[in-house]
Structure 1
Amino acid sequence: MASYLDFEKNIQQIDEDLANAKIKGDDEAVKILEKNLEKETQKVYKNLSDYQRLQLARHPDRPYALDYIQAILSDAYEIHGDRAFRDDPAIVCYAGYIGGKKVIVIGEQKGRGTKDKLHRNFGMPHPEGYRKALRVAKMAEKFDIPVLFLVDTPGAYPGVGAEERGQSEAIARNLYELSNLKTITIAVVIGEGGSGGALAIGVADKLAMMKNSVFSVISPEGCAAILWNDPSKIEAATKAMKVTADDLKNQGLIDDVIEEPISGAHRDKENAIKNLSDYVLKAIEELEQYDKRELAAIRMQKVFKFGAFSE
């Protein structure tokens, strides 16, 4: 069953009327309602606010890492474990082919349904998840295979056990190692890019964001609570923080914005997935022109620019 946000109520009503018209076999009503749906879709999604994009980034119907992996990766083989503690299901790793090219895909997976969400810890990785990601990335380096990172997390898990096992060290280690990785790397924020939990697999030669995704150092709710002692001021915080793909592209913090269908990835998964796949193949072809050591040097310079500013 589809989920709808507050600003999608008119679309929900048309969807329900359209479904009923199809059940009744009323072809004339179906045609009219389909036209109405197209107009309403254009009206609703053409001028989204920053807060509405944040809501879309968190939409429960939005494609997650495994949706992309299952759709674009052929001959897929899952790789488990960090070889030190356990296999963290909040991070998934696969080897396979995209458009005939060997690729390793590493993604943060939130889970669908109560059981799966609990199993995957709502997409919040433990340190062993980040260590698994690094182990697989180093394996890709050994065999000269491009790596695709799919970023989608509210943040790294802040629990006591995670801290005891070295959460901050695992994130810092990934930042260092991925900055120096001698193979092609591409990172795409497909939903939420939450703080260090996103950065830990977000260092790459190409950093892109889906149009309706967000990337921030803290959640807008957390920002509102700290600055104004009022989490309800989330809309003002979202706007002030500049968390959207277009904002970050304008600031030079990401390389590209991957367009989504006009109705968003949550309503048109197939075309959203195709857009990401096309982008990845094009990026790999572009990056193949560089020497791997040169790529690593350029990547490191990009990392050093994060947070730099001049008055």
Structure 2
Amino acid sequence: MSGIPGDTGPAEDAALTRAAQAGDISALAQLLERHRPGMRAVALSVLGPGPDVDDVMQEAALVALRRIVDVRDPEAVGPWLRMVVRNSCRTLLRAAQRVEPKESVPLPSDGGTPEQILQTHALRDWIWEAVEALSPTLRLPIVLRYFSTGITSYQQIAEACSVPVSTVRSRLSQARSALAHTLTATAATAHEDVIRRTEASWQEVRETLAAAERGEFDKVVRDRYSADVSLLTGGRRLGGADLLLAGMDWDLTAGVRQRPLHVVAGRSLVIWEMELVNPPDDPDHCPPGVAWIMSLDGGRFNRVSLHHASRPESVPAPVAA
């Protein structure tokens, strides 16, 4: 690889790290390979021998992909990678102590989302291309886990995918393994611009809601949705385009409005996370939010699965002394 010194140690680590931060996938793959023994030793010391070690190593590779741009001292990338492994181990151990895992993907200290991090550097295109190569059953949980903002815990993903939590764990493990393998096997390659695709989806969700306000949602459905589109919730098919139109009309008539909060846009999977704004005279008409999880076929949405956010539990008023 051009521009990488021939010596080993901190100097080469620094050169590889800078190349990876500039978007060179092969440089990141070399870093992971150089530090694999130390990373694995940390995982073994915390978890002991077993399959969890492989899961943690795969998780660490994905975290490194997302967060390599955050490394401020390129010569210290080895300790940073070992810290990533140690934190992943601790997350796994905390989850194992719970009956129903509720842990969410930790967000960066600046409050940004994993997707926003990906949009700040050239690696974003590679990871999306790798995600697109996954099977649909593996793609949805990995996208929810690492790219959505409100459906990241195992329990939430299980509800959105209508599968048991154990299945979510299994599918995430398989997806991480596939992505980690692709990371270590690939060289940097130019792919379709994810920022452009995401911006187009933001524009589309805004135009869709504006059209619904004007009473033109039926035109949007004709233009962008398949004639045999399926509307689902909880994994159960409720109906097709007629129900999609009726549902939007019911909400608007009741005074409910949707406000887009977050967009995930791939070639085959799009997620719109919305805030549901209820009318003042009926504040509990709808849950606080809904995610439109939509698959595409031939450029048209052919499947829309709605996942509603849970209402926060009400806190009893304090009893007067």
Please state which band the TM-score falls in when normalised by the shorter chain: under 0.3
Q: Which has the higher contact order (CA 8 A, sep 6+)?
A: 1
The TM-score with structure 1 as length reference comes to 0.27
When Rg is computed on C-alpha atoms for both structures, the one with the higher figure is 2
The TM-score with structure 2 as length reference comes to 0.26
